[in-house]
């Protein structure tokens, strides 16, 4: 992460970062996700932003505006609600934009003109995090949807910072990962892969997929790598950076210690462990887990957003800056994690982790 200063709490915020977000108009995708919710909450609680636009789709017959109301009622926003004399005025800064990424025009012409005229900062947090998703679906969500977003962002003349959230594991087939984009996508690139798939049956696609993934473990990591390549090929002229977080776990302190809203990753492993349903896990017990609390992740994300302009020097403008985010604040090894999770439970798991 270089010399970025962590904005872990409001009281220890870097003043230059606070000034960067003051009176800004922020556009966020993936605001209903784990990281997205914490990002929204942090912006409302610690920074004097003017507006936050969320690109939201209708889901299960619930309109985007109604989904936003439900989100803002969740426990993560209780601190903002309880510590502010006029919480309604704070939450009114968050505005839902009805969105459909399955269409060429993802938002209405009216909303498009609104965003083009106002947005100054963009956080692209949306992603499909299903590891077993079909490669076509993963590429559609993690590459094509981002492309549609950035096509619109190119016309936002007031935008001064764009952060694309990738993953620490977008190049996990490499033994050494530098802070740059590796464009060695096989089969002529992701566009060509999608073109090939259009002419294949489901059976043929399933047979070809392992060859396309190669050493990559799943469609998620492969599609996130493709998204990075797409950004370098199409949008290097924008003030854009790629942020690669590792495994994101429950919050350490903010806004609520231990807060989590999903059963993905490490959190998802704990439940079946305590129930005695997992007896072994493949991995190296002495390797660090590279897990970070979500509040640390969002603090780094905001710091990266404020750092964008420093990277727009002539000799680097052709290549987006890349940040591999890791912290030594949590060095738990996988073996230690297994033993702690199994402690006091009727399970043999601890014996299998070192």
pLDDT score recorded for residue 135: 92
pLDDT score recorded for residue 348: 54
- pLDDT surpasses 50 at 21: yes
Answer whether 216's CB lies under 8 Å from 161's CB.
no
Is residue 342 in some structural domain?
Answer: no
Tell me, what CATH number does 151's domain have?
3.40.50.720
- pLDDT surpasses 80 at 312: no
CA angle 305, 308, 311 (to 5 degrees): 155
SS3 state of residue 321:
strand
Residue from 297, 302, 294, 300 nearest 259 by CA: 294
Could you give the CA distance from residue 167 to residue 290 in angstroms, rounded to a whole number?
12
pLDDT score recorded for residue 203: 94
Domain encompassing residue 99? 10-262+290-331
Is residue 256 in some structural domain?
Answer: yes
Could you give the CA distance from residue 138 to residue 141 in angstroms, rounded to a whole number?
5
* Domain count across the chain: 1
- pLDDT surpasses 90 at 354: no
Longest dimension (CA), the chain: 60
Is residue 336 in some structural domain?
Answer: no
Could you give the CA distance from residue 92 to residue 85 in angstroms, rounded to a whole number?
14
Residue 276 vs residue 256, higher pLDDT = 256
Strand order through the sheet with 94-98: 94-98, 51-56, 25-29, 121-124, 161-165, 240-244, 321-324
Over residues 29-66, the pLDDT tens digits come to: 999 999 999 999 999 999 999 999 999 998 888 899 99
Q: What DSSP designation does 137 have?
A: H
How far are the Cα atoms of 165, 209, 230, 233 from residue 191, in angstroms, in the given order? 21, 15, 9, 12
Pairing of β 25-29 and β 51-56: parallel
pLDDT score recorded for residue 344: 67
- List phi, psi (to 5°) of 346: -85, 75
- pLDDT surpasses 60 at 7: no
Is residue 267 in some structural domain?
Answer: no
Burial of 288 (0-12, 13-18, 19+ CB in 10 A): middle
Over residues 68-119, the pLDDT tens digits come to: 999 999 999 999 999 989 999 999 999 999 999 999 999 999 999 999 999 9
Pairing of β 291-293 and β 51-56: unpaired
Q: End-to-end distance of the chain based on CA atoms, in angstroms?
A: 31
Answer whether 45's CB lies under 8 Å from 79's CB.
yes
pLDDT score recorded for residue 334: 85
Token digits of residue 27: 């556009």
Mean pLDDT of all residues in 126-145: 90
Could you give the CA distance from residue 249 to residue 270 in angstroms, rounded to a whole number?
12
- pLDDT surpasses 60 at 347: no
How far are the Cα atoms of 67, 232, 320, 321 from residue 312, in angstroms, in the given order? 37, 14, 9, 9
pLDDT score recorded for residue 13: 53
How far are the Cα atoms of 77, 223, 243, 286, 289 from residue 173, in angstroms, in the given order? 38, 13, 18, 19, 17
């Amino acid at each position: 992460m270089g010399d970025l200063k962590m904005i872990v709490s409001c009281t220890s915020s870097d003043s230059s970062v606070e000034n960067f977000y003051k009176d800004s108009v922020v556009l966020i995708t993936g605001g209903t996700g784990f990281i997205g919710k914490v990002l929204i909450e942090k912006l409302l609680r610690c920074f004097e932003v003017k507006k936050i636009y969320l690109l939201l789709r209708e889901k299960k017959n619930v309109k985007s505006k109604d989904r936003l109301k439900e989100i803002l009622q969740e426990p993560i926003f209780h601190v903002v609600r309880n510590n502010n004399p006029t919480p309604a005025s704070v939450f009114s800064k968050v505005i839902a934009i009805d969105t459909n990424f399955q269409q060429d025009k993802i938002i209405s012409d009216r909303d498009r003109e609104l965003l083009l005229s106002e947005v100054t900062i963009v956080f692209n947090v949306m992603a499909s995090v299903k590891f077993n998703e079909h490669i076509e679906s993963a590429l559609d969500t993690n590459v094509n949807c981002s492309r549609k977003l950035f096509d619109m962002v190119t016309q936002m003349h007031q935008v001064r910072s764009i952060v694309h959230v990738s993953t620490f594991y977008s190049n996990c087939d490499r033994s050494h990962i530098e802070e740059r984009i590796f464009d060695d996508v096989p089969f002529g690139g992701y566009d060509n892969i999608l073109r090939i798939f259009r002419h294949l049956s489901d059976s043929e696609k399933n047979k070809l997929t392992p060859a396309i993934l190669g050493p990559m473990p799943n469609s998620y990591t492969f599609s996130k790598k493709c998204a990075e390549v797409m950004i370098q090929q199409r949008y290097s002229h924008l003030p854009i950076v790629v942020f690669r977080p590792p495994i994101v776990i429950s919050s350490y302190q903010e806004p609520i210690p231990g807060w989590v809203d999903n059963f993905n990753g490490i959190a998802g492993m704990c439940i079946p462990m305590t129930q005695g349903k997992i007896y072994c896990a493949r991995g190296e017990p002495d390797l660090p887990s590279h897990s970070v609390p979500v509040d640390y992740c969002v603090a780094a994300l905001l710091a990266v957003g404020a750092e964008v302009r420093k990277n727009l020097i002539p000799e680097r403008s052709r290549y987006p800056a890349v940040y591999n985010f890791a912290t030594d604040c949590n060095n738990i090894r996988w073996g230690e994690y297994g033993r702690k999770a199994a402690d006091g439970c009727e399970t043999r798991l601890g014996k299998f982790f070192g």
